[in-house]
Structure 1
Amino acid sequence: MSEVQQQAETGPVTVRVPKGTRFALCTCALVLFVGMLYVARDFFLPLVLAFLIALTLSPIVRAGRRRGVPPFVTALVLVVGLSLTILAGATLLTRPVTNWIQEAPRIGYQLRSKLHDLRESVAQVTEASKEVQKLTESVKDPEVQRVSVEQPGFLPSAADDVVAVLAMLLLTAILILFLLGSSEMIYEKIVRVLPTMTDKKRALRLIFDIERTVSRYLLSITLINIGLGCFVGSAMWLLGVPNPVLWGVAATALNYLPYVGNLVGIVTVAVVSIVSFPTLTEALLPPLAYLTLTSLEGQLVTPLLLGRNLEINAVAILVALSFWGWLWGIAGMLIAVPLLIVMRAIGEHFEDLGAIAEFLSSSGRIVHAAPEAEARSPSEAPLPVAD
């Protein structure tokens, strides 16, 4: 009897892969996966955005379905309303942003004039660099020709970027519409495909948990950011900062980027205040007001409304912002925290991924859901806005 027949009679043979080989294979797979996300970002970014927004709005669609409204009708109303809101905000900000771009040279000149000491230091460095450049030009080979590559102008590049952004937003809106309109069908197919009742329950429990958590987080953060923008705009108006509406909208958008957005807002307001006000004391008041409002929001309002169970480890947030910002730019930074929320919810349902959920959490120990827990049907799921 051959060795193969003996193995067939004794049953399947377990092949143990060395630990170093497993680590190398996992590393290669991770690198290939990240490379795929980077190369195909024009495909994956609208898909991820649509997935997150659909998770946020799906409880509203389900609530309308319980009241007899067809899901596709509710989805169409939500997508059109969201699109009109974004369009109105962009139209409202077009004039202030255009004015700031046109005034950028004058603002730069005034800023250099008020920061006289810093300008002198920069001038000394510039003079030194010019002397070095003259020295290198005097000794270079006269037969060597200087070649320069002309870059496309600002307006063509900006036009291409606008067209790409509009195309991405249109694709995202279409994906959101179909995801919201067919969410019940997707849930039914997931239940039908899985083999055992335990798997069906676990899958539905995981889907509803992710939906409830992401929806509550994004809806709550949006309301908090709108409130912060109103307070920041009012404070800028009271302090006499130009274009207070612009700063209110900017504070609302920047607050979706934890830590980084607030820092950018404070620095930008400080620069504009230095240019706009005659004395340093008056120029310090707007950035201090911005810092005070954002600190109250981050340390008091957000923990009070969201609760500690939805807070994410600060280290994980910074790492995610850096990674997704490098991978997909500003849009990647915007979806970094919601993706962490999804990863943590998945980790809470699988013991093998418990370490990931434990690291992402900023609260106590993670309690995993029991496998035998009953999953609620889609029509019975509550609107996940508050506990």
Structure 2
Amino acid sequence: MSAEPTPFEIHLPKIRKLLFGIFLILVAQVIYFAQDVIMPLMLGILVAFTLSPLVRLGRRIGIPEWFSALLVMTGFGMLVALLLYSLSGPFTDLVNSAPQIKASLTEKLSSLQTHLQSLQRVSEEAAEVTGQSANGQEKVVVDGPPVFTGLASSVAGTVGQIAIAMFLSLFILSNGKLFYEGIVKMAPTLTDKKIAVRILYDVEKVVSRYLLTITMINIGLGIAVGVSLWFYGMSNPFLWGTIAALLNFLPYIGAVIGAFAIGLTAIAEFPTLGMAFGVPLIYYAMTAIEGNIVTPLLLGRRLEMNVVAVFVSVVIWGWMWGFAGALMAVPILVILKVMSDNIESMSSFGNFLASPAQDEERAPTEDAKEKDDVGPPPKKAA
């Protein structure tokens, strides 16, 4: 006769879920408050994963790993420095012209302001008719901080974090095997060690492919946007093309932010609203073509992710780490997807991260597996 379960054993699954939820909250708190340390480390790991195929190529042709890593990171740093230097002039011009842009926007939108004032007078008259006084109501004045000045100070404040990420990437690339061996040794059993090796190399392969492909796509998008705006007559087309390439690392949100920002600048620059609205239309059309045709064609279905999961990831990491966190949201999600595909206990989470196309591909495979498990029907007795 089996003994009845104790109250503790009955509530044990609920206790485990509660402890897991508390653990996730504590991890999120640590990630949020220690972002100055964790964020550059995560950025360095992502950069190392991205550039690791180049270091491995150098090792195959006989270049020592440390020297190949030094060459790759030096070239990468020079490209970043060259890009920042080339953008400094157009960015400074844009910052200096901010007062003129604001004055031009106020002038162009004066008719809209007149309509808003008319609506306000109508609402006040309606309030007087209904017996409500509008004298005690608070007026909301939108007077935001200088966006470009805040952006410049933020860029200057992240130089140290970028340096930490660059040096960490250099150390990982120059000691790739030792880094992987150290992680594998932490696994307790031989099976866990094999899973850890498979996860590490899958993460490196998938993340490097994803980031390199997305970077090339975004560079092409930036060139297309810059050239189109140059033909249209927009000032600083190189700057806006670069902004388009950077914002395109933010799925869904980046295109909206870029179209809105360039639309406001175009309203202040072009003489009519019709010509100004053509600028964000061009911008958004380019990003739509890229997002719906180019990226799915080049990345393939394996790297497609659940739209809801991508959007939630961008929002959460953007809330915790700001713009840099939003940029790293999708690569972090790709890493979690690879881990979920290799760890059985995380398979349900991996199914959530997968796109509907991947689920359709998995369904026939799972049905065939079930048929194999059932086996052929038994033979009838003679």
Counterpart in the other structure of 1:307: 300
Rounded to whole Å, the distance in 1 between the matches of 2:279 and 2:200 is: 44
Deviation at 1:49, TM superposition (A): 0.4
1:1-387 aligned at under 5 Å gives the runs 18-120=12-114, 161-192=154-185, 194=187, 196-362=189-355, 363-365=357-359
- Whether the 8 Å contact between 2:218 and 2:248 is mirrored in structure 1 is yes
Distance 1:18 1:247, change over 3 A: same
Partner SS state of residue 271, structure 2: coil
- Whether the 8 Å contact between 2:202 and 2:338 is mirrored in structure 1 is yes
Rounded to whole Å, the distance in 1 between the matches of 2:155 and 2:334 is: 30
Rounded to whole Å, the distance in 2 between the matches of 1:295 and 1:21 is: 47
User: How many residues matched?
Assistant: 338
The one-letter amino acid paired with 1:97 is F
Distance 1:133 1:308, change over 3 A: same
* 1:36-57, Cα deviation, whole Å (9 max, x unpaired): 1111111100110011111111
Instruction: Report the RMSD for the aligned CA atoms in angstroms.
Output: 2.9
- Whether the 8 Å contact between 2:70 and 2:170 is mirrored in structure 1 is yes
Counterpart in the other structure of 2:5: none
Partner SS state of residue 212, structure 1: helix
Rounded to whole Å, the distance in 2 between the matches of 1:57 and 1:17 is: 48
The one-letter amino acid paired with 1:110 is S
* 1:346-377, Cα deviation, whole Å (9 max, x unpaired): 0001121111111111132386xxxxxxxxxx
Rounded to whole Å, the distance in 2 between the matches of 1:169 and 1:204 is: 28
Rounded to whole Å, the distance in 1 between the matches of 2:148 and 2:241 is: 28
Distance 1:260 1:28, change over 3 A: same
Rounded to whole Å, the distance in 1 between the matches of 2:112 and 2:13 is: 56
Rounded to whole Å, the distance in 2 between the matches of 1:155 and 1:232 is: 21
Distance 1:54 1:238, change over 3 A: same
List runs of 5+ in structure 2 lacking aligned partners: 1-7, 125-132, 139-145, 363-382
List runs of 5+ in structure 1 lacking aligned partners: 1-13, 138-152, 368-387
Rounded to whole Å, the distance in 1 between the matches of 2:65 and 2:58 is: 7
Rounded to whole Å, the distance in 2 between the matches of 1:32 and 1:257 is: 27
Deviation at 1:104, TM superposition (A): 1.2
Partner SS state of residue 358, structure 2: coil
* 1:148-189, Cα deviation, whole Å (9 max, x unpaired): xxxxx9999888745531111111111111011111112234
Rounded to whole Å, the distance in 2 between the matches of 1:287 and 1:159 is: 24
Deviation at 1:206, TM superposition (A): 1.2
- Whether the 8 Å contact between 2:95 and 2:149 is mirrored in structure 1 is no
- Whether the 8 Å contact between 2:318 and 2:325 is mirrored in structure 1 is yes
Rounded to whole Å, the distance in 2 between the matches of 1:158 and 1:249 is: 15
What is the TM-score when the length of structure 2 is the normalising length?
0.81
The one-letter amino acid paired with 2:46 is L
- Whether the 8 Å contact between 2:32 and 2:321 is mirrored in structure 1 is yes
* 1:181-213, Cα deviation, whole Å (9 max, x unpaired): 111112234445545443332221111111110
Rounded to whole Å, the distance in 2 between the matches of 1:219 and 1:330 is: 20
Deviation at 1:59, TM superposition (A): 1.7
The one-letter amino acid paired with 1:61 is V
- Whether the 8 Å contact between 2:263 and 2:280 is mirrored in structure 1 is yes
Rounded to whole Å, the distance in 2 between the matches of 1:266 and 1:161 is: 22
Partner SS state of residue 158, structure 2: helix
Choose 58-67 or 295-304, whichever is displaced more: 58-67
* 1:82-138, Cα deviation, whole Å (9 max, x unpaired): 111111111111121112112112111111211123223565799999xx999799x
Distance 1:23 1:213, change over 3 A: same
Rounded to whole Å, the distance in 1 between the matches of 2:197 and 2:89 is: 48
Partner SS state of residue 233, structure 2: coil
| Percent pairwise identity | 39
| Deviant stretches of 4+, over 6 Å | 124-129, 132-137, 153-160
Rounded to whole Å, the distance in 1 between the matches of 2:308 and 2:225 is: 27
